[in-house]
Structure formats: C-alpha cells, structure tokens
Amino acid sequence: MPSPIALQFEQITKRFPAKSSVLSKSFKGRAAGAYTAIAGIDLNVRAGAFVSVVGPSGCGKSTLLNIAAGLMQPTEGVVSVFGEKLDRAGVNRRAAYLFQQDALLPWKTVLANIALALIFRGVDRGQAEVRAREWVSRIGLDGFADSYPAQLSGGMRKRVAMAQSWIADPDILLMDEPFSALDVHTRLRMEGELLALWSSSPASSSNTSPSTSAKTILFVTHDLEEALALSDEVVVLSAGPASHIVNRYTVDLRRPRDLIDIRTDPRFHELYRGIWAELKQEVLTSYARGR
C-alpha cells in the first residue's frame, strides 16, 4: 500500500507586492508591479520520503519551504498536511524547520537550547532537560552540554540545531540549505549524521522505497550532488519569475548509502548528467534575466 501524503501543494502561487522589503532586497531594479516568485506549484511529498528541491538562485525554493511551514501564506492555492488543510492563520505544527543559519540562542547552553524545543511545546522543564541530555549524547557532544554556541565549531553548532529540530519528534522536517556554510569535510559528516538520524526514525526502510512512518524531509539545496546522495526524489524548479516545477526525478539508488562511495556509482553519474542537463538550462536562463 502506498505511503500517505505528508505534504501536498496544490496550485501554489506566491506574489510579492512591489514595495515589499523582500522585493527591494532581492529584485531591485525590476519594473514596478507585483513579483510572482512561484506559480502553479503542484507537489505531493509522501510520508517517510526524503525529497530535495533544486533550482537557480532566487527561484523560490525558500519561499516554498516558508509556505510549507506556515510562516508565509500563498497568494493562491492550498497546502495540506497529512490530508488536513494548513490553517492560513497558523504554523505547521507537524513540522520542524532547520534554517541555513542556526537559530541557537547565544545566552543559552547546548543543553538549554536543545531542551527549548520541548519547553515551547509545554513539556516540563525538568523532563525536557532529561531528554535533551540524551540528545547531547546522541549527537556526540558529551562534555559540551554546558557550553555556549560561541564556544562551538560550525559543525558542532549544526549538530545542536539538528537535535533541536528532532527532539520534538516532528513528522516533517523542512531544511533550507542547512550545510551550505560548512567546509566540505564537515558537510559530508553532517550529511551522514542526517541520514543516520532519518534512517533510525521509526520503521525507516533500507531499500529504495520510503517507509510510511519514517520522518518526511523536504530539503532545499543548490548542490545537485548533495541532493542525489541524500534523496529519494529530486524536484527541479525553473528560473524565476513565476518559477514552476520543470521535472521530478526518482533517485533509485539503494539504501543505506555511503556518501563518499555513492558518488562513484555509475547510476549516480547517470542521474547527475540527466538532471544537470535540465538544471543547467534554468541556471543560464536565470543568469540571462538577471543581467
């Protein structure tokens, strides 16, 4: 039986008014009038799937995540979460959001930052700290529970941010280029830790088919190699304005995956060449429109 649909985007369109701060920051110099960031997005993300979204810079990838999180309302269209329409007045409470820059509070310790995710959900502080301490150990930061974010390396901070997202046991994880600021070696390690967490979520399968009860991940990245190495499916967005889905590709690479060895797999290279041929055209179109 197919997995239920965790996230459903139906004809999602987002327009920004001409005087929006988003417009003035990202699209300065454009003619007056509303800017359509994304248009007519139809996308179903099945429960337990790891889906990556790629596309040229400024094509609306983060906008799509913000709409999925309930942090931004679509101009047109409907988002449903496990079959229920997302309330236009509220956030997606079945999802956690991991941003490109971590949202750790600098005046709180590692332990306190992780526990905060539970405290915000009404969990008793003492119980939250007990569970947070388990996560400190799980992410390999024993001995750093009482350290502050400024005392941690970039990779360590990212591990704390991941624990902060996972500890609340969300059904869906929204991830916006979470590893882009890391060096290549730390990035590979964090990608590996992400897959380890995802694969250890309840009943996650070890074959190419997502489990019905594993975490659902919607992951935004500029790095096509990263998308292929991690995902079950890669969604390609067109150049903006009015970005739309160009194509969707099933990543039929078996799991579990070694993130170094997988890049030498002939099928990996075949998939990469096929997707890049399409993505390259969108990148060139985006560049031409921005000149």
Sorted by where each begins, the domain ranges of the chain are: 5-94+171-290, 104-169
Tell whether domain 5-94+171-290 is in CATH 3.90.1150.10. no
* The residue to which tokens 């990212």 are assigned: 158
- Model's pTM, two decimal places? 0.88
Q: Tell me what the pLDDT averaged over the chain comes to.
A: 88
Q: Which residues have C-beta within 8 Å of that of residue 21, sequence separation ≥ 6?
A: none
pLDDT digit string (tens) for 3-41? 899 999 999 999 998 764 554 444 444 445 789 999 999
* The residue to which tokens 């509070």 are assigned: 105
Question: What is the phi/psi pair of residue 93, to 5°?
Answer: -80, -5
Question: Can you list the positions of beta strands (E) in the chain?
Answer: 5-16, 35-46, 50-54, 76-81, 84-85, 95-98, 172-176, 216-220, 233-237, 245-250
C-alpha to C-alpha distance for 223 and 226, rounded to whole angstroms: 5
Q: Find residue 234's DSSP bridge partners.
A: 52, 249
Q: Which residues have C-beta within 8 Å of that of residue 40, sequence separation ≥ 6?
A: 11, 12, 13, 77, 244
Q: What is the mean pLDDT of residues 193-199?
A: 89
C-alpha to C-alpha distance for 247 and 235, rounded to whole angstroms: 6
pLDDT confidence of 56, banded at 50, 70, 90? very high
Q: What is the mean pLDDT of residues 179-198?
A: 88
Give the pLDDT of residue 89.
65
Give the pLDDT of residue 1.
62
- Residue 154 pLDDT exceeds 90: no
- Residue 267 pLDDT exceeds 80: yes
pLDDT confidence of 235, banded at 50, 70, 90? very high
Give the pLDDT of residue 38.
96
Q: What is the mean pLDDT of residues 140-163?
A: 92
Q: DSSP secondary-structure letter at 182?
A: S
Give the pLDDT of residue 29.
43
Q: DSSP secondary-structure letter at 53?
A: E
Which percentage of the chain shows pLDDT scores above 90? 68
